[in-house]
């Protein structure tokens, strides 16, 4: 069963452009990881200052293997330069979900 991890990163709006640039530099950082299925960076539109970093994995074990590996360390300790430094974000939460049902466009 696929699992979804949503990292909720809250920061002031004046830091958003830099945060997004850091994620552009992450291209390829997770895509070749066994069990990885999907990534999206979701920008807040209104009513919140929290970004959602959405990843989908084929299993909890696949996510845990990536999280305990060197690629995760590089991406989250500045080597991959992907996440905002602690001084730029006020909160960081990880939400975890199991995929119960999903759909795609017909013919996909």
pLDDT given at position 22:
85
CATH of span 3-98: 3.30.70.100
- Match 């360390």 to its residue by tokens: 73
Residues in the chain predicted with pLDDT less than 70, given as ranges, are: 27, 71-90, 108
- Do 53 and 9 touch, CB atoms closer than 8 A? yes
**Cβ within 8 Å of residue 68, ≥6 positions away:** none
Q: What's the chain's length in residues?
A: 108
| Confidence at residue 84, expressed as pLDDT on a 0 to 100 scale | 53
Are the CB atoms for 51 and 9 separated by under 8 Å? yes
By the 8 A CB rule, do 1 and 61 touch?
no
- What is the pTM for the complete model shown? 0.79
- What is the rounded CA–CA span in Å between residue 52 and residue 5? 10
Specify the pLDDT at position 1: 86
The whole-angstrom separation of Cα 62 and Cα 108 is 25
Looking at residue 55, what is its pLDDT? 96
The residue extents of the domains of the chain are 3-98
Query: What is the structure's pLDDT at 82?
Result: 45
Burial 2-21 (b: 16+ CB within 10 A, else e): bbbbbbbbebeeebbeebee
Q: What is the pLDDT of residue 35?
A: 96
């Amino acid at each position: 069963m696929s699992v979804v991890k949503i990292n909720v990163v809250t920061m002031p709006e004046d830091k958003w452009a830099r945060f997004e640039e850091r994620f552009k530099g992450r291209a390829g950082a997770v895509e070749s990881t066994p069990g990885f299925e999907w990534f999206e960076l979701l920008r807040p539109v209104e009513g919140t200052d929290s970004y959602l970093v959405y990843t989908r994995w084929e299993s909890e074990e696949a996510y845990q293997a990536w999280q305990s590996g060197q690629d995760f360390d590089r991406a989250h300790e500045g080597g991959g330069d992907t996440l905002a430094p602690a001084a730029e974000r006020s909160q960081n939460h990880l939400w975890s979900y199991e995929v119960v049902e999903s759909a795609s466009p017909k013919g996909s």
